Amino acid sequence: MPSTFLAIGECMVEMAPTGGGTFAKGFAGDTLNTAWYVRKSLSQDWAVSYLTAVGNDQISEEMIAFLDGAGLATDHVQRMTDRTIGLYMIQLKDGERSFAYWRSQSAARCLANDAAALSAAMDAAGLIYFSGITLAILSPEGRQTFLSSLAAARRKGAKAAFDPNLRPRLWEDAQTMRDCVTEAAGLCDFLMPSFEDEEAHFSDASPSESADRYLKAGAAMIVVKNGPQEVIVATENDRRSFRPEPVRSVVDTTAAGDSFNAAFLAEYIVSGDVDASVAAGARLAGTVIQHRGALVDLSSGLVA
Protein backbone atom coordinates (compact mmCIF):
# COMPACT_ATOMS: atom_id res chain seq x y z
CA MET A 1 0.00 0.00 0.00
CA PRO A 2 1.49 3.44 -0.88
CA SER A 3 2.02 5.28 2.40
CA THR A 4 -0.38 8.12 1.70
CA PHE A 5 -3.59 8.79 3.59
CA LEU A 6 -5.74 11.03 1.38
CA ALA A 7 -8.74 12.83 2.89
CA ILE A 8 -11.17 14.53 0.51
CA GLY A 9 -13.78 17.13 1.36
CA GLU A 10 -14.51 20.68 2.40
CA CYS A 11 -12.59 22.76 4.90
CA MET A 12 -14.31 26.02 5.86
CA VAL A 13 -13.44 29.20 7.66
CA GLU A 14 -14.79 28.99 11.20
CA MET A 15 -15.76 32.16 13.05
CA ALA A 16 -16.07 31.32 16.76
CA PRO A 17 -17.37 33.91 19.25
CA THR A 18 -14.86 35.20 21.77
CA GLY A 19 -17.29 37.50 23.60
CA GLY A 20 -18.29 41.13 23.16
CA GLY A 21 -19.28 40.60 19.52
CA THR A 22 -15.81 39.57 18.35
CA PHE A 23 -14.89 36.29 16.68
CA ALA A 24 -11.77 34.15 16.31
CA LYS A 25 -11.03 32.85 12.84
CA GLY A 26 -10.13 29.18 12.40
CA PHE A 27 -10.48 26.43 9.81
CA ALA A 28 -12.51 23.23 10.19
CA GLY A 29 -14.65 20.63 8.46
CA ASP A 30 -15.37 16.96 9.13
CA THR A 31 -12.83 15.40 6.74
CA LEU A 32 -10.23 18.03 7.60
CA ASN A 33 -10.68 17.23 11.30
CA THR A 34 -10.02 13.57 10.57
CA ALA A 35 -6.97 14.33 8.41
CA TRP A 36 -5.62 16.61 11.16
CA TYR A 37 -5.91 13.85 13.79
CA VAL A 38 -4.54 11.20 11.42
CA ARG A 39 -1.46 13.39 10.92
CA LYS A 40 -1.00 13.51 14.70
CA SER A 41 -1.49 9.73 14.99
CA LEU A 42 0.65 8.32 12.15
CA SER A 43 4.44 8.27 11.95
CA GLN A 44 6.26 10.44 9.41
CA ASP A 45 6.62 7.36 7.18
CA TRP A 46 3.11 8.26 6.11
CA ALA A 47 2.10 11.31 4.11
CA VAL A 48 -1.31 12.71 5.02
CA SER A 49 -2.78 14.71 2.18
CA TYR A 50 -5.92 16.85 1.99
CA LEU A 51 -7.78 17.27 -1.29
CA THR A 52 -10.21 20.14 -1.55
CA ALA A 53 -10.76 23.13 -3.82
CA VAL A 54 -10.09 26.75 -2.85
CA GLY A 55 -10.05 30.16 -4.50
CA ASN A 56 -7.16 32.40 -5.55
CA ASP A 57 -7.70 34.93 -2.78
CA GLN A 58 -6.08 35.77 0.52
CA ILE A 59 -8.34 33.67 2.74
CA SER A 60 -7.72 30.63 0.51
CA GLU A 61 -3.95 31.23 0.91
CA GLU A 62 -4.43 31.38 4.66
CA MET A 63 -6.24 28.06 4.62
CA ILE A 64 -3.45 26.44 2.61
CA ALA A 65 -0.90 27.86 5.07
CA PHE A 66 -2.98 26.37 7.90
CA LEU A 67 -3.00 22.93 6.20
CA ASP A 68 0.76 23.15 5.57
CA GLY A 69 1.32 24.17 9.17
CA ALA A 70 -0.59 21.10 10.34
CA GLY A 71 1.76 18.87 8.32
CA LEU A 72 -0.86 18.04 5.69
CA ALA A 73 0.25 17.74 2.07
CA THR A 74 -1.54 20.27 -0.13
CA ASP A 75 -0.30 19.26 -3.58
CA HIS A 76 -3.76 17.99 -4.57
CA VAL A 77 -5.60 21.16 -3.49
CA GLN A 78 -7.31 22.60 -6.57
CA ARG A 79 -7.64 26.33 -7.36
CA MET A 80 -10.79 27.95 -8.73
CA THR A 81 -10.50 31.44 -10.16
CA ASP A 82 -14.16 32.36 -9.71
CA ARG A 83 -14.91 30.93 -6.24
CA THR A 84 -13.65 31.07 -2.69
CA ILE A 85 -13.89 28.88 0.42
CA GLY A 86 -17.04 28.45 2.52
CA LEU A 87 -17.56 29.95 5.96
CA TYR A 88 -19.58 29.17 9.07
CA MET A 89 -20.23 31.16 12.17
CA ILE A 90 -20.84 29.69 15.61
CA GLN A 91 -23.63 31.53 17.39
CA LEU A 92 -24.20 31.31 21.14
CA LYS A 93 -27.57 31.86 22.74
CA ASP A 94 -28.25 30.97 26.38
CA GLY A 95 -25.19 28.67 26.30
CA GLU A 96 -26.47 26.75 23.25
CA ARG A 97 -24.41 26.70 20.04
CA SER A 98 -25.96 27.03 16.62
CA PHE A 99 -24.31 27.40 13.23
CA ALA A 100 -24.89 29.71 10.26
CA TYR A 101 -23.32 28.63 6.95
CA TRP A 102 -22.17 30.43 3.81
CA ARG A 103 -21.08 27.51 1.65
CA SER A 104 -23.56 27.16 -1.19
CA GLN A 105 -21.09 28.58 -3.74
CA SER A 106 -17.89 27.32 -2.15
CA ALA A 107 -14.96 26.20 -4.29
CA ALA A 108 -15.04 22.74 -2.66
CA ARG A 109 -18.29 22.00 -4.50
CA CYS A 110 -16.17 21.77 -7.65
CA LEU A 111 -13.54 19.37 -6.30
CA ALA A 112 -14.69 16.58 -8.64
CA ASN A 113 -14.97 18.77 -11.77
CA ASP A 114 -11.48 17.81 -12.90
CA ALA A 115 -11.85 14.03 -13.12
CA ALA A 116 -8.23 13.49 -14.18
CA ALA A 117 -6.85 15.43 -11.20
CA LEU A 118 -9.16 13.60 -8.80
CA SER A 119 -8.16 10.19 -10.20
CA ALA A 120 -4.45 11.04 -10.11
CA ALA A 121 -4.75 11.90 -6.41
CA MET A 122 -6.78 8.80 -5.58
CA ASP A 123 -4.52 6.49 -7.59
CA ALA A 124 -1.50 7.66 -5.59
CA ALA A 125 -3.15 6.98 -2.22
CA GLY A 126 -3.05 3.92 0.01
CA LEU A 127 -6.19 4.90 1.90
CA ILE A 128 -8.84 7.35 0.67
CA TYR A 129 -11.10 8.93 3.30
CA PHE A 130 -14.30 10.87 2.56
CA SER A 131 -17.70 11.53 4.09
CA GLY A 132 -21.34 12.01 3.20
CA ILE A 133 -20.65 15.74 3.32
CA THR A 134 -17.98 15.32 0.63
CA LEU A 135 -20.64 13.72 -1.58
CA ALA A 136 -23.48 16.03 -0.56
CA ILE A 137 -21.74 19.22 -1.71
CA LEU A 138 -21.01 17.85 -5.21
CA SER A 139 -23.31 18.07 -8.21
CA PRO A 140 -24.96 14.79 -9.29
CA GLU A 141 -22.32 14.54 -12.08
CA GLY A 142 -19.56 15.32 -9.60
CA ARG A 143 -20.74 12.47 -7.35
CA GLN A 144 -20.63 10.00 -10.24
CA THR A 145 -17.13 11.20 -11.20
CA PHE A 146 -16.08 10.83 -7.57
CA LEU A 147 -17.46 7.29 -7.22
CA SER A 148 -16.07 6.07 -10.56
CA SER A 149 -12.63 7.48 -9.71
CA LEU A 150 -12.85 5.77 -6.31
CA ALA A 151 -13.83 2.45 -7.88
CA ALA A 152 -10.92 2.71 -10.34
CA ALA A 153 -8.43 3.56 -7.57
CA ARG A 154 -9.65 0.57 -5.56
CA ARG A 155 -9.17 -1.72 -8.52
CA LYS A 156 -5.54 -0.53 -8.50
CA GLY A 157 -5.20 -1.39 -4.81
CA ALA A 158 -6.30 1.64 -2.79
CA LYS A 159 -8.52 1.15 0.26
CA ALA A 160 -11.49 3.42 0.99
CA ALA A 161 -12.96 4.66 4.28
CA PHE A 162 -16.26 6.51 4.48
CA ASP A 163 -18.25 8.20 7.25
CA PRO A 164 -21.81 8.75 5.95
CA ASN A 165 -22.23 11.80 8.23
CA LEU A 166 -25.86 12.13 7.13
CA ARG A 167 -26.88 15.80 6.75
CA PRO A 168 -30.13 15.87 4.74
CA ARG A 169 -30.10 19.68 4.52
CA LEU A 170 -27.00 19.51 2.32
CA TRP A 171 -28.69 17.16 -0.17
CA GLU A 172 -31.41 17.91 -2.69
CA ASP A 173 -33.65 15.37 -0.89
CA ALA A 174 -33.37 12.61 1.71
CA GLN A 175 -33.90 9.74 -0.76
CA THR A 176 -31.03 10.95 -2.97
CA MET A 177 -28.86 11.05 0.17
CA ARG A 178 -29.79 7.49 1.15
CA ASP A 179 -29.27 6.16 -2.39
CA CYS A 180 -25.91 7.85 -2.90
CA VAL A 181 -24.60 6.87 0.56
CA THR A 182 -25.66 3.26 -0.08
CA GLU A 183 -23.95 3.24 -3.48
CA ALA A 184 -20.75 4.70 -1.94
CA ALA A 185 -20.86 2.12 0.87
CA GLY A 186 -20.53 -0.62 -1.73
CA LEU A 187 -17.11 0.78 -2.63
CA CYS A 188 -15.74 0.88 0.90
CA ASP A 189 -13.34 -1.13 2.98
CA PHE A 190 -14.25 0.80 6.13
CA LEU A 191 -17.71 2.24 6.72
CA MET A 192 -17.83 4.38 9.86
CA PRO A 193 -21.35 5.68 10.63
CA SER A 194 -22.77 7.17 13.84
CA PHE A 195 -25.87 5.29 14.95
CA GLU A 196 -27.72 8.50 15.88
CA ASP A 197 -27.66 9.58 12.20
CA GLU A 198 -28.48 6.12 10.84
CA GLU A 199 -31.43 5.74 13.20
CA ALA A 200 -32.78 9.14 12.18
CA HIS A 201 -32.37 8.82 8.41
CA PHE A 202 -32.44 5.07 7.65
CA SER A 203 -34.79 4.16 10.54
CA ASP A 204 -32.43 1.46 11.82
CA ALA A 205 -33.67 -0.09 15.07
CA SER A 206 -30.17 -0.87 16.41
CA PRO A 207 -26.46 -0.39 15.57
CA SER A 208 -26.39 -4.05 14.50
CA GLU A 209 -29.13 -3.30 12.00
CA SER A 210 -27.04 -0.42 10.56
CA ALA A 211 -24.09 -2.80 10.27
CA ASP A 212 -26.22 -5.42 8.48
CA ARG A 213 -27.58 -2.86 6.05
CA TYR A 214 -24.11 -1.60 5.10
CA LEU A 215 -22.70 -5.14 4.82
CA LYS A 216 -25.53 -5.88 2.42
CA ALA A 217 -24.63 -2.73 0.46
CA GLY A 218 -21.15 -4.21 -0.02
CA ALA A 219 -18.91 -2.50 2.56
CA ALA A 220 -16.26 -4.81 4.02
CA MET A 221 -15.90 -3.60 7.62
CA ILE A 222 -18.54 -1.56 9.43
CA VAL A 223 -17.64 0.42 12.55
CA VAL A 224 -20.81 1.82 14.12
CA LYS A 225 -20.23 4.55 16.73
CA ASN A 226 -22.90 5.34 19.25
CA GLY A 227 -21.78 8.15 21.58
CA PRO A 228 -20.96 6.70 25.03
CA GLN A 229 -22.53 3.37 24.12
CA GLU A 230 -20.94 0.34 22.53
CA VAL A 231 -19.02 0.54 19.25
CA ILE A 232 -19.93 -2.37 16.95
CA VAL A 233 -17.38 -3.69 14.45
CA ALA A 234 -18.84 -6.05 11.89
CA THR A 235 -17.47 -7.94 8.90
CA GLU A 236 -19.14 -10.76 7.03
CA ASN A 237 -17.65 -13.34 9.41
CA ASP A 238 -17.18 -11.47 12.66
CA ARG A 239 -19.06 -9.12 14.94
CA ARG A 240 -17.69 -7.55 18.11
CA SER A 241 -18.71 -4.79 20.45
CA PHE A 242 -16.64 -2.54 22.69
CA ARG A 243 -17.75 -0.17 25.40
CA PRO A 244 -15.79 3.12 25.38
CA GLU A 245 -14.27 4.21 28.67
CA PRO A 246 -16.91 6.46 30.31
CA VAL A 247 -16.17 10.19 30.19
CA ARG A 248 -17.66 12.06 33.11
CA SER A 249 -16.90 15.64 32.14
CA VAL A 250 -18.01 16.03 28.53
CA VAL A 251 -17.26 19.63 27.49
CA ASP A 252 -17.88 19.67 23.71
CA THR A 253 -18.64 16.65 21.50
CA THR A 254 -17.59 18.44 18.28
CA ALA A 255 -15.38 16.10 16.21
CA ALA A 256 -15.97 13.04 18.45
CA GLY A 257 -16.73 10.91 15.41
CA ASP A 258 -14.06 12.56 13.22
CA SER A 259 -11.31 11.98 15.78
CA PHE A 260 -12.51 8.41 16.48
CA ASN A 261 -12.26 7.63 12.75
CA ALA A 262 -8.77 9.12 12.58
CA ALA A 263 -7.29 7.14 15.46
CA PHE A 264 -9.10 3.93 14.42
CA LEU A 265 -7.79 4.10 10.85
CA ALA A 266 -4.27 5.20 11.83
CA GLU A 267 -4.00 2.18 14.13
CA TYR A 268 -5.68 -0.25 11.74
CA ILE A 269 -3.54 0.53 8.71
CA VAL A 270 -0.43 -0.08 10.77
CA SER A 271 -1.42 -3.05 12.96
CA GLY A 272 -4.56 -4.53 11.36
CA ASP A 273 -5.77 -5.15 14.92
CA VAL A 274 -9.49 -4.38 15.37
CA ASP A 275 -9.43 -4.31 19.19
CA ALA A 276 -6.43 -1.98 19.32
CA SER A 277 -8.00 0.24 16.64
CA VAL A 278 -11.30 0.68 18.49
CA ALA A 279 -9.40 1.32 21.71
CA ALA A 280 -7.32 4.01 19.96
CA GLY A 281 -10.44 5.59 18.43
CA ALA A 282 -12.35 5.65 21.70
CA ARG A 283 -9.32 6.94 23.61
CA LEU A 284 -8.77 9.87 21.27
CA ALA A 285 -12.48 10.75 20.95
CA GLY A 286 -12.87 10.46 24.73
CA THR A 287 -10.06 12.99 25.17
CA VAL A 288 -11.24 15.36 22.44
CA ILE A 289 -14.72 15.68 24.00
CA GLN A 290 -13.18 16.89 27.24
CA HIS A 291 -11.97 20.03 25.44
CA ARG A 292 -13.60 22.84 23.56
CA GLY A 293 -13.38 22.93 19.74
CA ALA A 294 -12.85 20.42 16.94
CA LEU A 295 -9.04 20.39 16.83
CA VAL A 296 -7.51 19.67 20.22
CA ASP A 297 -3.72 19.77 20.19
CA LEU A 298 -2.75 16.90 22.44
CA SER A 299 0.96 17.45 21.79
CA SER A 300 0.94 20.91 23.36
CA GLY A 301 1.00 19.47 26.87
CA LEU A 302 -2.62 20.50 27.35
CA VAL A 303 -3.54 16.88 27.88
CA ALA A 304 -1.44 14.43 29.89
Closest CB to ligand ADP among residues 32, 63: 32
133 dihedral zone (left: phi>0; alpha: psi -120 to 50; beta): alpha
Of the ranges 51-59, 95-103, 139-147, 248-256, which one interacts with ligand ADP (CB under 6 A)? 248-256
Burial class (CB in 10 A: 0-12, 13-18, 19+), 58: exposed
3-state secondary structure 105-169: CCHHHHCCCCHHHHHHHHHCCCEEEEEHHHHHCCCHHHHHHHHHHHHHHHHCCCEEEEECCCCHH
Q: Shortest distance, CB of residue 259 to ligand ADP, whole angstroms?
A: 7
Q: Is residue 260 within the footprint of ligand ADP (CB under 6 A)?
A: yes
Candidates 258, 273, 275, 297; catalytic one: 258
Closest CB to ligand ADP among residues 149, 210: 210
Closest CB to ligand ADP among residues 55, 286: 286
Q: Is residue 134 within the footprint of ligand ADP (CB under 6 A)?
A: no
Q: Is residue 244 within the footprint of ligand ADP (CB under 6 A)?
A: yes
Q: Is residue 256 within the footprint of ligand ADP (CB under 6 A)?
A: yes
Pick from 228, 239, 270, 291 the residue near ligand ADP by CB under 6 A. Answer: 228
Burial class (CB in 10 A: 0-12, 13-18, 19+), 82: exposed
Q: Shortest distance, CB of residue 97 to ligand ADP, whole angstroms?
A: 14
Q: Is residue 296 within the footprint of ligand ADP (CB under 6 A)?
A: no
**Catalytic site includes residue 179:** no
Pick from 38, 133, 225, 262 the residue near ligand ADP by CB under 6 A. Answer: 225
The amino acid that residue 136 corresponds to is A
Q: Shortest distance, CB of residue 99 to ligand ADP, whole angstroms?
A: 14
Closest CB to ligand ADP among residues 213, 225: 225
- CA nearest neighbour of 232 among 270, 260, 202, 200: 260
Of the ranges 4-12, 50-58, 142-150, 243-251, which one interacts with ligand ADP (CB under 6 A)? 243-251
Binding site for ligand ADP (CB under 6 A): 194, 196, 225-228, 231, 244, 246-247, 250, 253, 256-257, 260, 282, 285-286, 289
Q: Which residues are catalytic?
A: 258
